[in-house]
């Protein structure tokens, strides 16, 4: 048994951490968050050179052929640096959908373009992941989609969108297709596009080899990546809180010497430590123990979502009034953690799903079966 | 990351399973934990089981043969395999008392050859029961301020003073004890670590009734207790260093994710078998939400332990990831006990002495005992100081006292 990162995995971690340290400054984060585009295209190109979009794509299609475990390591670094790139959607869920549900032809057509960073595919899987709200729902007939897909991730600036219909069939729609309208949703996280998609007789490509389990697995991969990203963001918030507390003086001493401040930092550190192990295991299980992974992913995301919320507010509090200002930029991580919490299933939802999965039938049933029952 | 057993460990896991299958009929009902809850002399059955485990290398396996152990090469993965396989089939593992889990590693590290030969074998075989004389009425979290004195007198020390929170003193034959041997030295430099028999004249033991109703703690008073100088472990004035290595063992001992997992599994069963108006309690979404929250935390700790085991097996020094275990482990157990009590509703207040539902009555006991563990072995607040100072490199509080 070896529970940790191999030499190669440490190299991947180091190379992404180094590059992101070099390229992502607070000014850059602020520029993207306040700008018209929510994706840092220049950063995306730089990270493409490191193989970011093709991590999970086979080598013969231009990718690196790595597994979700390595992707989770990268996601943690992206969260740490607050990078504004469409990783969970374009590099994880979309290529996995093509790999598991696409035909050979579709894979040959799309995967090399994803791996090369030439196209970005957003994902509209929110209803499949956590149920439909406010009239969302997509129906399909003869490879034409109608209806509304809400809360699509990274779709507003994408070239195509992966969409699930109400029966968990998967489709690829080009964003310039006739009848496809997008409405950008302003969210707390200005560096991560979220949109509603209105579909009126939109011609789409069906990824015909899918199934309900297949969609759940793709969403689970996205959940692990968002969880790993929030973990990285939480670690960075703790690091900044400790560093600030060691500099800031009050009553003639650094505030890091006050137990009231130390204990807050210790609690954050204590809560974060096991999250790392839980995330590594969830990703490892996803790659190697698929049956076990389904439960562990739900536990990992729901737990990290709670720890993330605690760390985000506590690290802000340690900064005192400065934490509340825009000057420190701490709020960007705070918002990313809050954003991820609500995506692909909020913690209460995921816990109810975990209960149902373990035979506690009185608890709320999973999103997918609930949607089916409502029809 | 590779969680499969290497060939050597695969074989070892089979050996452990074979041992359990062949010998489990000899296993006692009582577990180490039940002795911790209510300290009492070990039964013959428990002692024989412990001896068998030591002899076959399934308890304290790295203790050298010369000192009565099995003499296995340190391999933390094998220890983990033993723990998991015994746990899986609910067979009691080796005992973890303060003597076995704290004194023995300390003697191995700091003891003289004579001390090792005399005490390690009978301790790991559970023939000698130890208690720990650390805290004093005025020296709790600030342990190094302890005042029990040991004054030199020829070849002996004369000990005067008192200790408190001394678990199992009323059943122990021996004590390992911190005393001040160099009154003129600094706070941390004047302490020595002594071992001596509890029937030495001048020792008085008063049981301390606790909230559980079981006198698991004691006050111990020393009046002109004469102990030979040869009873010092690790050299005069080195007691603080020696004690800290022992406390590290205790902190490891207090965080054992399998203990949390055991509680979690019992709670899962309660959720399925307990009914209200004929429906399982597990249909209550609020209770289920609490259960799944704790399930995630327990899984997190279990996996975290695997990460620490890997780090230790590679010889990495202890770091932040180790320092958080005591704080989290005790807190999670306490929350599990609270959930079980709430699942049981009115039944949850039942306590000892109701034989027909003995399982139900245990939760209130655990709830109080685990609160004791949050406080004992370094309070949660002291743990947070340790995490902040040693793990996050934050400065200590400025000292207001000499030392």
pLDDT of amino acid A369: 44
What is the DSSP pairing of strand A249-250 with strand B203-208? unpaired
pLDDT given at position B181? 96
Nearest CA-CA distance, residue A145 and chain B, Å: 36
In chain B, residues with a C-beta closer than 8 Å to the C-beta of A276 are: 304, 307
Arithmetic mean of pLDDT, B83-93:
90
> What mean pLDDT do residues B147-167 have?
96
Label residue A252 left, alpha or beta by phi (over 0 means left) and psi (-120 to 50 means alpha).
left
Tell me the Ramachandran region of residue A220: left when phi exceeds 0, alpha when psi lies from -120 to 50, beta otherwise. Answer: alpha
pLDDT value at position B246?
A: 67
For chain B, what are the domain ranges? 7-95, 130-237, 255-391
| Strand A180-184 to B149-153 pairing | unpaired
Please state, rounded to an integer, the average pLDDT across all residues of chain B.
90
What distance in Å separates the CA atoms of residue A355 and residue B290, rounded to the nearest whole number? 10
Number of other residues whose CB lies within 10 A of the CB of residue B332: 23
Over residues A119-147, the pLDDT tens digits come to 999 999 999 999 999 999 999 999 999 99
The pLDDT assigned to B362 comes to 83
Nearest to A194 by CA among A78, A45, A89: A89
From A370, A363, A342, A337, select the one nearest B290 (Cα to Cα): A363
Residues 6 or more apart whose Cβ sits within 8 Å of residue B356: none
Test mutation, A295, A360, A370, chain B, max B CBs within 10 A: A360
CB contact under 8 A, A262 and B307: no
Confidence of residue B210 (pLDDT cuts 50, 70, 90): confident
Q: What are phi and psi of A144, to 5 degrees?
A: -120, 135
Residue written as token pair 């996280």: A189
The number of CA neighbours under 13 Å toward the Cβ of B350 is: 17
CA distances to A280, A284, A293, B350 from B4, rounded to whole Å, are 15, 11, 16, 44
Residue among B263, B163, B278 nearest B222 (CA): B163
Residue partners of B184: CB distance under 8 A and separation at least 6 = B190
How many residues belong to chain A?
A: 375
Confidence of residue B74 (pLDDT cuts 50, 70, 90): confident
Residue B209 has pLDDT above 80, yes or no: yes
Determine, for residues A242 and B396 on separate chains, whether the beta-carbon distance falls below 8 Å.
no
* Spatial CB neighbours of A282, under 8 Å, sequence gap ≥ 6: A72, A224, A227, A293, A296, A297, A299, A300
Q: How far B266 CA lies from chain A's nearest CA (Å)?
A: 15
Give the separation between CA A305 and CA A342, rounded to whole angstroms.
9
Chain position carrying tokens 């997190």:
B300
Query: Is-contact A222 A72, C-beta < 8 A?
Result: no
| DSSP state letter for B330 | H
Same topology, domains B130-237 and B255-391? Answer is no
Quick check: B341 pLDDT over 90?
Answer: yes
Angle formed at CA B297 by CA B291 and CA B300, multiple of 5 degrees:
140
Select from B6, B219, B244 the least CA-distant residue to B106.
B244
Please check the confidence at residue B71 and state whether its pLDDT lies above 80: yes
CATH topology classification for B130-237: Butyryl-CoA Dehydrogenase, subunit A; domain 2 (2.40.110)
Q: In whole angstroms, how far apart are CA A121 and each of A40, A129, B186?
A: 15, 18, 68
Catalytic residue among B250, B274, B331, B389: B250
Asked if B303 lies within 8 A of A274 by C-beta distance, the reply is yes
Read off the pLDDT of each residue in B251-280 and give the average, rounded to a whole number.
84
Return the sign of the alpha-carbon dihedral for residues A271, A272, A274, A278. Answer: positive
Q: Which residues pair with B193 in a beta bridge?
A: B178, B233
- Closest by CA position to A27, among listed A326, A359, A320, A334: A326
pLDDT, position B34: 75
Q: Give residue A349's pLDDT.
A: 96
Region B249-264 average pLDDT: 72
> Which carries the bigger pLDDT value, residue B361 or residue B309?
B309
Contacts of B310 in chain A (CB under 8 A): 1-4
**Two tokens at B254?**
């207090």
What CA–CA distances, in Å, run from B220 to A39, B168, B170? 68, 11, 9
Answer for the pair A346, A223: CB distance below 8 angstroms, yes or no: no
Using CA of residue B234, residue B236, residue B238, residue B239, what is the dihedral sign? positive
CB contact residues (below 8 A), chain A span 169-228, against chain B: none
The pLDDT of residue A372 is 40
pLDDT at B255: 52
Q: Is residue B109 pLDDT above 80, yes or no? A: yes
Give CA B120 to chain center in angstroms. 17
Distances from the Cα of A280 to the Cαs of A113, B217, B305, in angstroms? 29, 41, 13
Across the interface, whether the CB atoms of B296 and A300 are under 8 A apart is answered: yes
Q: CATH number for the B255-391 domain, one of 1.20.140.10, 3.90.230.10, 3.40.1010.10, 3.40.50.2000?
A: 1.20.140.10
Residue with the bigger pLDDT between B362 and A2: it is A2
- Helical (H) or strand (E) element with A122: strand A121-124
* Partner residue opposite A364 with nearest CB, options B285, B385, B395: B285
Q: Would you call B389 and A257 a contact, using CB atoms and an 8 Å cutoff?
A: no
Tokens of B2: 């590779």
ipTM comes to 0.94
State the DSSP H helix or E strand holding residue B326, giving kind and residue range, or none if neither.
Answer: helix B325-344
Closest CA to A129 of A373, A357, A374, A370: A370
Q: How much is the pLDDT for A366?
A: 45
Please give the distance of CA A72 from its chain centroid, rounded to a whole number. Answer: 10
Residue B120 dihedral angles phi and psi, to the nearest 5°: -70, -50
Residues 302-361 of A with CB under 8 A from B: 302-303, 306, 348, 351-352, 354-355, 358-361
List Cβ neighbours of B94 (8 Å cut-off, separation of 6 or more).
B32, B50, B53, B54, B58, B59, B60, B100
The residue ranges of chain A whose pLDDT is under 50 are 365-375
Give the residue-averaged pLDDT of B271-297. 95
- β pairing state of B174-180 and B130-133: parallel
With beta carbons less than 8 A apart as the criterion, state whether A273 and B321 touch: yes
Average pLDDT, chain A: 94
Residues of chain A with CATH 1.10.540.10: 7-88+96-115
* Distance separating alpha carbons of residues B376 and B389, to the nearest angstrom: 20
Residue B359 is predicted with a pLDDT of 63
CATH 1.20.140.10 domain position(s) in chain A: 212-374
The pLDDT assigned to B41 comes to 86
A1, B285: Cβ pair inside 8 Å?
A: no
Structure tokens at A204: 């789409």
* Gap between the Cα atoms of A195 and A177, Å rounded: 16
Token representation of residue A176: 């310039």
Q: Kindly determine whether residue A362 and residue B397, on different chains, have CB atoms separated by under 8 Å.
A: no
DSSP letter, residue B355: G
Q: Does A250 touch chain B (CB under 8 A)?
A: no
Q: Is CATH 2.40.110.10 the right assignment for the domain spanning A121-207?
A: yes
CA gap B324, A100 in Å, rounded: 40
| Distance between CA atoms of residues A90 and A161, nearest Å | 9
- State the pLDDT at residue B397: 87
Task: For residue B225, list its beta bridge partners.
Answer: B159
Query: Pairing between strand A121-124 and A160-164?
Result: parallel
Q: Is the dihedral of CA B116, B122, B126, B127 positive or negative?
A: negative
For residue B375, count CB atoms less than 10 angstroms from its CB and return exposed for 0-12, middle for 13-18, buried for 19 or more.
Answer: middle
Is B29 a catalytic site residue?
no
| pLDDT at residue number A245 | 98
The CATH homologous superfamily to which domain A212-374 belongs is Butyryl-CoA Dehydrogenase, subunit A, domain 3 (1.20.140.10)
Q: Domain A7-88+96-115 adopts which CATH fold?
A: Butyryl-Coa Dehydrogenase, subunit A; domain 1 (1.10.540)
Of chain B, the percentage scoring pLDDT greater than 70 comes to: 94
Q: What is the pLDDT of residue B75?
A: 83
């Amino acid at each position: 048994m070896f529970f940790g990162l191999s030499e190669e995995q440490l190299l991947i971690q180091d190379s992404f951490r180094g590059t992101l340290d070099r390229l992502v400054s607070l000014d850059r984060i602020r520029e993207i968050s306040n700008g018209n585009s929510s994706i840092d295209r220049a950063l995306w190109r730089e990270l493409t050179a490191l193989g970011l979009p093709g991590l999970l794509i086979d080598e013969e299609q231009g990718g690196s052929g790595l597994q979700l475990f390595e992707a989770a390591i990268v996601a943690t670094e992206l969260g740490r640096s607050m990078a504004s790139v469409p990783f969970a959607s374009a590099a994880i869920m979309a290529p996995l959908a093509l790999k598991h549900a696409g035909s050979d032809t579709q894979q040959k057509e799309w995967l090399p373009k994803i791996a090369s960073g030439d196209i970005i595919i957003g994902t509209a899987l929110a209803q499949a992941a956590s149920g439909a709200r406010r009239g969302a729902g997509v129906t399909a007939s003869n490879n034409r989609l109608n209806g509304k897909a809400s809360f699509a991730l990274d779709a507003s600036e994408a070239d195509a969108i992966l969409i699930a219909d109400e029966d968990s069939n998967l489709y690829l729609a080009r964003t310039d297709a006739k009848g496809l309208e997008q409405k950008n949703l302003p969210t707390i996280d200005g560096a991560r596009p979220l949109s509603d998609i209105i579909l009126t007789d939109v011609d789409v490509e069906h990824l015909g080899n899918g199934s309900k389990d297949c969609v759940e697995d793709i969403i689970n991969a996205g959940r692990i990546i968002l969880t790993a990203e929030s973990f990285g963001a939480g670690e960075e918030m703790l690091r900044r809180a400790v560093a600030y507390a060691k500099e800031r003086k009050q009553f003639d001493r650094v505030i890091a010497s006050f137990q009231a401040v130390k204990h807050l930092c210790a609690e954050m550190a204590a809560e974060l430590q096991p999250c790392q192990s839980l995330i590594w295991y969830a990703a490892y299980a996803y790659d190697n123990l698929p049956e076990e992974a389904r439960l562990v992913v739900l536990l990992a995301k729901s737990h990290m979502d709670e720890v993330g919320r605690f760390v985000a507010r506590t690290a802000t509090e340690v900064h005192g009034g400065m934490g509340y200002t825009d000057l420190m930029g701490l709020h960007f991580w705070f918002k990313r953690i809050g954003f991820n919490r609500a995506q692909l299933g909020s913690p209460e939802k995921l816990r109810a799903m975990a209960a149902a999965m373990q035979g506690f039938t009185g608890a709320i049933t999973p999103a997918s079966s609930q949607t089916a029952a409502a029809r | 990351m590779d969680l499969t057993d290497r060939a050597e460990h695969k074989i070892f896991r089979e050996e452990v399973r074979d041992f359990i299958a062949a010998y489990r009929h000899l296993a006692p009902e009582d577990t180490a934990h039940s002795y911790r809850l209510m300290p009492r002399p070990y039964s013959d059955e428990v002692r024989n089981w412990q001896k068998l485990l030591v002899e076959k290398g399934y308890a304290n396996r790295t203790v050298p043969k010369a000192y009565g152990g099995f003499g296995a090469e340190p391999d933390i993965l094998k220890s983990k395999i033993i723990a998991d396989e015994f746990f899986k089939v609910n067979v009691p593992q080796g005992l973890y008392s303060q003597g076995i889990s704290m004194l023995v590693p300390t003697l191995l590290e700091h003891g003289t050859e004579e001390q090792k030969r005399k005490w390690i074998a009978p301790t790991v075989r559970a023939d000698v029961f130890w208690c720990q004389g650390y805290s004093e009425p005025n020296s709790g979290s600030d342990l190094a301020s302890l005042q029990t004195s040991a004054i030199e007198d020829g070849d002996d020390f004369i000990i005067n003073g008192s200790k408190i929170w001394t678990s199992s003193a009323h059943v122990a034959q021996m004590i390992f004890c911190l005393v001040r041997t160099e009154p003129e030295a600094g706070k941390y430099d004047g302490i020595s670590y002594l071992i001596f028999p509890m029937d030495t004249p001048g020792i008085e033991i008063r049981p301390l009734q606790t909230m559980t109703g079981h006198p698991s703690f004691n006050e111990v008073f020393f009046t002109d207790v004469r102990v030979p100088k040869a009873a010092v472990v690790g050299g005069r004035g080195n007691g603080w260093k020696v004690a800290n290595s022992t406390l590290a063992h205790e902190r490891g001992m207090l965080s054992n994710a399998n203990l949390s997992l055991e509680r979690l599994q019992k709670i899962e069963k309660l959720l399925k078998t307990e009914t209200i108006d004929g429906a399982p309690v597990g249909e209550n979404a609020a209770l289920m939400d609490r259960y799944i929250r704790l399930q995630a935390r327990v899984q997190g700790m279990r996996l975290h332990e695997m990460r620490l085991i890997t780090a230790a097996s590679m010889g990495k020094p202890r770091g932040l990831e180790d320092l958080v275990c005591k704080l989290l482990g005790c807190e999670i157990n306490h929350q599990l006990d609270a959930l079980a009590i709430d699942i049981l509703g009115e039944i949850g207040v039942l306590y000892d002495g109701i034989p027909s539902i003995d399982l139900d009555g245990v939760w209130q006991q655990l709830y109080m005992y685990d609160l004791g563990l949050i406080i004992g072995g370094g309070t949660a607040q002291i743990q947070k100081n340790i995490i902040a100072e040693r793990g996050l490199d934050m400065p200590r509080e400025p000292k207001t006292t000499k030392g």
